Every structure is written in structure tokens, then in C-alpha cells.
Amino acid sequence: MVSLPLIPDLQRADIYSLKITDQPVGVLVLCPGCNGNGKEWIQSPVWQQFARDHNLNLVGISFASEVSLLTSGRGYYYARLGSGQLLLDGIWRAFHEKLPIILYGFSGGAHFTAGFVEWKPERVATWCAYSAEWWDKPVSNDSCPPGLVACGENDERLGASLMYFKEGRALGKPWLWIIAPQTGHSIYAPAEGFIRDYFAAVLDNNGSDPTGTWVDINLKVNTDKNTVINQPSATGWLPNAKLLSEWQTIHHP
């Protein structure tokens, strides 16, 4: 564990790290729900195997702030206010390397993930924000790492999550949308499996399909560039056409 100096509005600022390889291509940062402890997440055999398969080191964040602060635009959810720099400092202290970052966050962790990507997009290889309760508006920037926005079909956060996705796509960001079927505010295991496959495709430089493929998020089919240009919020981006059938199976608009 790396304990970091506390900054205003944070009660806890720790990261847990696990060195998987001596030649990492990146760091996978796992971000649990509100004020959660990422130690359990990096202990997951599934995530550890994914890290081994793709030459990644692992980090789990363990940040905490008063809930009243988090709901008023302060605290660790807002990476630009200092928690993002704490993560970068913690990664450096753990591994002594400046590496691309892959972020995966659920609920409160999705708040932090989305905020970090907007704050420091050039450090991010790819990401997934799964079911945040509210979202800051995405901003236009030169660096737009590909990512996923996901939410459960029966989660009250669905509307806000979909709006965030649509606003990002309206700015041209290469994002993909997932609605997990018959799921409330919890992680749908097949969706998490797809998230890993999506990350792998991005890390693999998109395999044999470097341009990826565009899809209609409502019809769940490939779409053309004209639709992408004229109706961006109805479309999403897959890093590899081979992922289409898996996405069609787990996405239930």
C-alpha cells in the first residue's frame, strides 16, 4: 500500500499496487464504488490473469471523502481538484515508470474515472465508467482516448449515463455504449468480460483492424460514416470488428 499526503476534502488517499510484470506496457487502475477500497479488486484472479495476459501492472484506489462533499462538486470524484495528481504520484511511487493508464470504475469509481479521463486524457490508453449517478459535461480536447460508458437496464442512473455518452459522442469522442440487461446498480459479469475484451483490443493496437468499426447503438448493427457524422449520438465505436457479436449479445437498448 502507498499512503499519499491528504489534500483538502479527502479523508483517505491510499493506493494498492501489484507488480505483475517487469516489462509493463501500462497500468490498469481499478476504481471501486463510493469510498471503496481497491485492494479487493486487484486481488481478483480474473483481473490478475488479464494483467498477466497483457503485460500490465495493477493499481486499486482507496480514496475517501465526505458524501456531502462528493454531491456538491468536491472530493476525490473530481480528479482535476487533486485526486488525479495523487493517483499519478502513487503510480510513480509504486512502479517508478510513466506508463499509459487503463481505468475501470464502477459507481463512485465511475465518477473518478470519467473525471480523470477529462482531466488528463493524454495519459489514458482506454477506460470504462460504469454507472455513475451524475456526470460532468464532457469537454472537447485534442486527445480522446477510446472508452466505454455502461449502465444496468434497471439502474436509476441509466438516463444520466446515456446523456453523458450522447454528449461525448456529439463532440466526436470514440466511445461505446452498453446497457446491461435486467441489471440494477450492480456489475453484470458478461459486460465486465466484454470490457476486458475491449481493453485488450485497444492495447493490441486494434489487431488487424486498426480503424475499428462504427455501430448503431439502438439497432446494434454496423453503420456508415454518413450516420456517424450526422447522428453521432446514435453511434458508437468498437476497436475491432471481431467484438461486434459479443457487444450485440450483452447490449440491450
Question: pLDDT band at residue 210, thresholds of 50, 70 and 90?
Answer: low
Torsion sign over Cα 215, 159, 181, 174: positive
H or E segment to which residue 124 belongs: strand 124-130
Q: Kindly report, residue by residue over 78-116, the tens digit of the pLDDT.
A: 999 999 999 999 999 999 999 999 999 999 999 999 999
Q: Decide the pairing of beta strands 175-180 and 147-152.
A: parallel
What mean pLDDT is predicted for residues 24-52?
96
Residue 242, CB-side half-sphere exposure with 13 Å CA sphere: 11
Q: Kindly report, residue by residue over 52-84, the tens digit of the pLDDT.
A: 999 999 999 999 999 999 999 999 999 999 999
Lowest mean pLDDT among 135-149, 184-198, 207-221: 207-221
Give exposure, 91-114, as e/b (b: 16+ Cβ within 10 Å): beebeeeebbbbbbbbbbbbbbbb
pTM for the model = 0.95
**Rounded to whole angstroms, how far apart are CA atoms 205 and 177?**
21
pLDDT at 166 over 70: yes
* Percentage of the residues of the chain whose pLDDT score is greater than 90: 93
Q: Which positions ≥6 away from 33 have C-beta within 8 Å? A: 106, 107, 108, 109
Q: Residue type at 170?
A: A
Domain ranges of the chain: 1-99, 129-253
